[in-house]
Amino acid sequence: MLELSNLNVLAIVIGWLIAIGLGSFWYSPAGFGKLWSKLSGVDMMKMPKELASKAIVSVIISSLIQVIALAIVVNSLNADTVSEGLAIGLLVWAGFTAATTVGNNLYSRLSWKFWWLNASFFLIVMPVNAVILAVWQ
């Protein structure tokens, strides 16, 4: 059964900020932004500001939803150790991020390198956030 009580709002906010912060670096020119742009064929610097703003707001909102959902899973499974959080984060990444994005990537005719670039971001974010959510009760 889903356990919605006792969610640590501060841990959720910290996880959300980690996702936003790491994503801001990951997809920036200092991170993997140039590679992402090359592999996707999208130049973020040439994107109309209104479209870019909508994309950024959508990512911010979806990141919050993702961390809340992860918090519910961690809480419902009564995970409270680093190893339990890590296992949940890796499982959620493999089953719900990595596996579900393969089709989108292939149907969009994007390379496996592009898939790995995006999937590996979540391979870091999800386990880190799951560990934070597990141990910070």
Chunked into runs of 10 residues, the chain (137 residues) has average pLDDT values of 87 98 95 93 83 92 97 96 98 96 92 96 98 94
pTM of the predicted structure, to 2 decimals:
0.91
Cβ-Cβ contacts under 8 Å for 51 (sequence gap 6 or more): none
pLDDT attached to residue 127 = 98
pLDDT attached to residue 80 = 95
Cβ-Cβ contacts under 8 Å for 84 (sequence gap 6 or more): 77, 134
- Rounded to whole angstroms, the Cα distance separating 74 from 128 reads 12
pLDDT attached to residue 42 = 85
pLDDT attached to residue 79 = 96
pLDDT attached to residue 44 = 77
CA 101 to chain centre: 12
pLDDT attached to residue 6 = 87
Residues 19, 129 contacting (CB under 8 angstroms): yes
Angle between the 82-92 and 112-135 helix axes, to the nearest 10 degrees? 150
CA angle 98, 29, 51 (to 5 degrees): 75
Q: Which residues of 32-70 are buried (b: 16+ CB within 10 A; e: fewer)?
A: bbeebbebeeeebeeeeeeeeeeeeeeeeeebbebbbeb
Residue 126 CB coordination number (10 Å): 26
pLDDT attached to residue 62 = 97
Residues 66, 12 contacting (CB under 8 angstroms): no
